[in-house]
Amino acid sequence: MPDDRPTAVAAPGPAAEPGVVVVAATPIGDPDDASPRLRHWLATADVVAAEDTRRLRRLTRTLGIEVSGRVVAHHEHNETGGAAELLDVVRAGRSVLVVTDAGMPTVSDPGFRLVAAAAEAGLPVSVVPGPSAVLAALAVSGLPTDRFAFDGFLPRKQGERGRALEALRTEPRTTVLFEAPHRLAEMLTHAAQVLGPDRRVAVCRELTKTYEEVRRGTLAELAAWARDATVLGEITVVLEGAHPGPARTPEDLVAVVAEREQAGLRTKEAVAEVAAAHGVRKNALYDAVIAARRP
């Protein structure tokens, strides 16, 4: 005889709590700078998203840590496409640890797109603070630290780099930059031309490593040093902010216009760019440029 009683249906369980994206700073040189929390997350995270998986393995071997989770490559070439898969891991209630080769993810390193996507999706994001080349260089530079800016790597092309340096001409804050060792002399020489030879600067090399070196002086002095030296290793540059001074006249800026022209701009384009950067009238600067060319 059929049972006419209603069939009991199990009530749906509560939705799984989301996991977490953890961005963690790794040593910039000395492995002993690895924090206890970094060690914990390396050993326990469900997924470790690393900028370079080989460097990750080298670090964990040095630290004596065995990674229990899945290791995936997460770098500038796959960061956008890989973020969705990593967020699915977090939605399923598991943890994703993001590490780069050195320092804090998202700061001139992969991780920003994933963190931004997680924040937009309302998923938890946590941080394991630690080593930072930016803050380490700033701390030992001897330059003001109360207000500072970080500009990463300046453009490689001379014209684009010149425009970036022009923007720093009146920047009052200390500025921290990264630079490749083989471009350091060229960059410092260009900076001395645009910002003036007496602007103070510190060049920090191989911070926390065996051959750590900090050179302090003017742009002219360190440009000369870099031209004559064999500079190797990771380079962080700390540049003094601009000091208030008398306004520059159009006649003062004729040489700056000539530099922009040498970088490939037409005269009118160069004049417009320099006039806007220095707050002078475009017509007055153009007249000064033409007058300087008259015999």
Between 4 and 232, where is the model more confident? 232
Q: Residues 213-221: what's their mean pLDDT? A: 96
CB 276 within 8 A of CB 260: no
pLDDT bucket at 4, cuts 50 / 70 / 90: very low
pLDDT of residue 78: 84
Region of poorest pLDDT, from 75-84, 156-165, 188-197: 75-84
pLDDT bucket at 245, cuts 50 / 70 / 90: low
pLDDT bucket at 98, cuts 50 / 70 / 90: very high
Closest CA to 121 of 86, 95, 94: 86
pLDDT bucket at 17, cuts 50 / 70 / 90: confident
pLDDT at 13 over 50: no
pLDDT of residue 203: 98
For every residue of 179-247, DSSP letters joined together read E-GGGHHHHHHHHHHHH-TT-EEEEEESTTSTT-EEEEEEHHHHHHHHHHS---S-EEEEEPPPPP-PP
Between 42 and 257, where is the model more confident? 42
Structure tokens at 181: 């060792």
Residue 116 in 3-state DSSP? helix
Region of poorest pLDDT, from 47-56, 57-66, 233-242, 243-252: 243-252
pLDDT of residue 186: 95
Q: Residues 11-30: what's their mean pLDDT? A: 80
Residue 193 Cα distances to 17, 61, 162, 189, angstroms: 57, 46, 9, 6
Q: What's the start-to-end Cα distance of the chain, in Å?
A: 117
pTM of the predicted protein model: 0.76
pLDDT at 82 over 70: yes
Q: Residues 100-112: what's their mean pLDDT? A: 93
- DSSP summary character for residue 107: S
pLDDT bucket at 150, cuts 50 / 70 / 90: very high
Mean pLDDT of the residues in the chain: 90
pLDDT bucket at 16, cuts 50 / 70 / 90: low
pLDDT of residue 246: 65
